[in-house]
Structure 1
């Protein structure tokens, strides 16, 4: 089975190659790229395209690698023992299976998404090396070894908030999702808004790329944000003429969909002020 994208997800050729190469090598696919470029959605679309269930592990700053394997609730067991509950005799009643355990135990091959791994502590990736290599782990409380029934397709995303350890990187197939060029973005828009008029799309995308390339911009608008913006333009039934900007009105229409902090809004307001002053 090969991944080439879906009807609702435009995968570039190099992205398809990366997904398929990771599956052939049986290694996790580490995907980086700007926020909003479809890293998380990639896993969902691979799941749909290959008809595999998906298990999603969303990483937070407090997440520990052990939680992906299992968690032992010793406090509940102690409380139940004090109450004389018979279930304390089976320690398995106090073991909560983590996402890796669920993926390993699945009767069919699954897609396992480890989302935003760079949010966790720097030791988090290294703590998973052995489990991802051997596809097994030991449960000390019960004495059992959990082995993967089928090697899951593992997709790991990172927003580059911190560097990942070299030992972890060596075990992954890496792909960086480049921000789409205008032709690829047109294809992405066509999937979401098939009836959009070409004149409006051309004007909007030209303006969008101009905004992204504005010097001093703190946060460049992403693919997901331009889709939100286009949705608003269509809802307001705006025309290409409505989108035209001049120096005195540098802020784009409905700019709240594209500019997400006051620094960038002030940047365009300053550009408008300088344009008026130069007249």
Structure 2
């Protein structure tokens, strides 16, 4: 079966909901980028990795920072190196292409085989960043001013864009994407995810851990509710050889802060909130 006809159905390492599988397929059918949003830790970045693995494609990842500019994804021209080489009499200066460094989009466009391009955490960049990529993602081409060439995609990559919803994305950009919001896993889905990571885990430990985990997420005013990845880290600690099997059952339920809370709670404000709740419960 050709890659174009293959459907993403999840992998042994990634539990994909039916709606997420449908979203991946819809974006491919429309030949539009798939924009995925969701809480941190819900598997947005991992989705791209698993789509690539499932379809047998190369993954190219462009991690976005607050200082990232759209131009860096296309190419960068190293004028400083060219000036230095000209002062040293290096013959390389006569070919400007020697000073053009391809970016991640160029790498994806130049690939002979279809690939998966992940633009990770696009909302970290400034507000103009998404708009600066409109033409390139729409037309699958861009112009290199220094050399006068136009770079076209040899094979249209599967583009997956992740966002933690830290800032609104421009309407013009959103119109060019297929959007999917990854809902936080319910308890049944979370059990499947745990089973993937820990096939031999005690069912009692899972029951006790999920009770505490989802109870924590429901605490009003919590600045950062624990995520799926943090639950996995917590379970890994609870399963360590030096931990008693009934570590959670021995825990005083009047204590709002669970054992090894540092894997779940990531800031002092939330710790203080839980301590106040525990104090009020004891009163």
TM-score, shorter chain, exceeding 0.5: yes
* CA displacement, residues 143-192 of structure 1 (integer Å, 9 cap, x when unaligned): 11100000000000000110000000000000000000000000000000
Partner of 1:272: 278
Equivalence for 2:150? 145
**Which residue in 2 is equivalent to 1:195?**
200
Match of 2:50 in 1: 45
Q: Is the 8 A contact 2:57 2:116 kept in 1?
A: yes
Deviates more, 1:246-255 or 1:207-216: 246-255
CA contact (8 A) 1:5 1:16 kept: yes
Kindly report which structure 2 residues correspond to 1:19-34, keeping only aligned pairs within 5 A, or say none.
19-34=24-39
| 1:263 correspondence with 2:255 | no
Could you tell me how far apart the structure 2 residues matched to 1:89 and 1:105 are? Answer: 24
**Shift of residue 249, structure 1, vs aligned partner:** 2.2
Q: 1:238 pairs with 219, 237, 244, which one?
A: 244
Taking the aligned partners of 1:199 and 1:171, their CA distance within structure 2 comes to 47
Q: Which runs of 5+ in 2 are unaligned?
A: 1-5
Q: Once the 2 structures are TM-superposed, how far is the Cα of residue 248 of structure 1 from its aligned partner?
A: 4.2
**Is 2:209–2:248's contact at 8 Å kept on the other side of the alignment?**
no
Q: Report deviation, 1:197.
A: 1.2
Please provide the CA RMSD for this pair: 1.1
2:36, 2:182 within 8 Å by CA — same for their partners in 1?
A: yes
Structure 1 residue aligned with 2:171, among 166, 174, 181?
A: 166
Unpaired segments ≥5 residues, structure 1? none
Correspondence for 1:75 among 75, 80, 84: 80
The answer (yes or no) to whether the contact 2:15–2:192 under 8 Å persists in 1 is: yes
Aligned residues: 277
Match of 1:63 in 2: 68
> TM-score, with normalisation over the residues of structure 1?
0.97
1:241 CA drift (Å):
5.8
State the shift of 1:272 in Å. Answer: 1.7
Partner of 1:11: 16
Equivalent-residue separation in structure 2 for 1:6 and 1:247 (angstroms): 37
Name the SS for the 2:22 alignment partner.
Answer: helix
Secondary structure at the counterpart of residue 128 of structure 1: helix
Contact 2:36–2:160 (Cα < 8 Å) also in 1 = yes
